[in-house]
Amino acid sequence: MRCAIIADIHANLEAFTAVLGEIEHQGGVDEVWSLGDIVGYGPDPVPCIELLRRYNHVSVAGNHDRAAIGKLELSFFNPLAAEACRWTAARLGKEHVRYLENLPLTADRGDFLLVHGSPTDPVLEYVMSTGIAARNFAFFGSAYCLVGHTHVPAAFKEEDGSCRSVAMTPGIGMMLGADRLIINPGGVGQPRDGDPSASYAIYDSRSRIFRLFRIPYDIEATQQKMLRAGLPVQLATRLAAGR
Ligand code: ZN
């Protein structure tokens, strides 16, 4: 089975469309695994929810998905994120609210646990260091855990109660074996590792190869939509910087 692993779409339809187009170009996938934050920040929350729903997919809830439906207090957000969240909430119809309400906080897919933040705190914790990753290995039973939330591609390998970071190069496959891993495929709609192109991964359960991809998209089109919508200017400019 081939799975696309996507995280942090963040209502960026241009980035999401570019990723899905590339996935189709590579022969398509059997399932799409979404690691949450479908909405928030970007100008197209409803089209992104509707596009994801056309695919055979499973998605967990991210902090922005929860906040947009009033299930997470905006005090957890910085002022720009909170402003974008209020903008998003005003655009969701009943059907979209119901879809976001029904997203689970965790999902099991065979050897993988899917969460947005971390196994310890699926909504809010950022797995952004070997220390945080090491502590989290005790909180899931499967071989591998997929996380989003940081918008930075990363892989952490469990080693004798400790943990080390594993380099991932776009396009180069990583064979998953006996070592337990926490893997982040990076962000689709608002990458933060200095590379503004959309980030995602493909996993093939037959070959057991996990491969990261980066895809350029029409950043200016997204920025124009955000400015026209009255979303905070800084949220538009950061897309070009990949920060
Ligand atoms: Zn996010």
Axis crossing angle, helix 219-229 with helix 13-25, rounded to the nearest 10: 150
Ligand 1 centroid distance, CA of 15 (Å): 14
Q: What is the mean pLDDT of residues 141-156?
A: 98
24 pLDDT more than 80: yes
Taking the complete model, does pTM exceed 0.75, yes or no?
yes
> Residue 119 Cα, ligand 1 centroid: separation in angstroms?
16
Residue-level pLDDT at 162: 83
Q: How far is the CA of 124 from the centre of ligand 1 (A)?
A: 10
pLDDT at 12: 98
Q: What's phi and psi for 200, nearest 5 deg?
A: -160, 175
Note the pLDDT of residue 26: 93
Look at the chain and report how many structural domains it folds into: 1
Ligand 1 mean position to 203 CA, how many Å?
21
Q: What is the pLDDT of residues 92-136, one digit of tens each?
A: 999 999 999 999 999 999 999 999 999 999 999 999 999 999 999
Q: Mean per-residue pLDDT for 41-67?
A: 98
Taking the centre of ligand 1 as the mean of its atom positions, its distance from the CA of residue 168, in whole angstroms, is 20
Containing structural domain, residue 186: 2-241
Per-residue pLDDT tens digits for 171-191: 999 999 999 999 999 999 999
Confidence of residue 155 (pLDDT cuts 50, 70, 90): very high
Question: Average pLDDT in the 205-214 region?
Answer: 97
* In the predicted structure, residue 165 carries a pLDDT above the cut 90: yes
Decide if pLDDT at 47 tops 80: yes
Helices 94-101 and 45-53 cross at an angle (nearest 10°) of 60
Return the pLDDT at 29: 98
Residue 159: pLDDT over 90 = no
CA separation (Å) from 175 to 60, 124, 157? 25, 29, 13
Q: Ligand 1 centroid to 31 CA: how many Å?
A: 21
Rounded Cα distance, 125 and 79, in Å:
19
Check if the beta carbon of residue 116 is closer than 8 Å to that of residue 149. yes
pLDDT of residue 184: 98
CATH number of residue 168's parent domain: 3.60.21.10
Burial of 67 per CB tally in 10 Å (0-12, 13-18, 19+): buried
Strands 198-204 vs 181-184: parallel, antiparallel or unpaired: unpaired
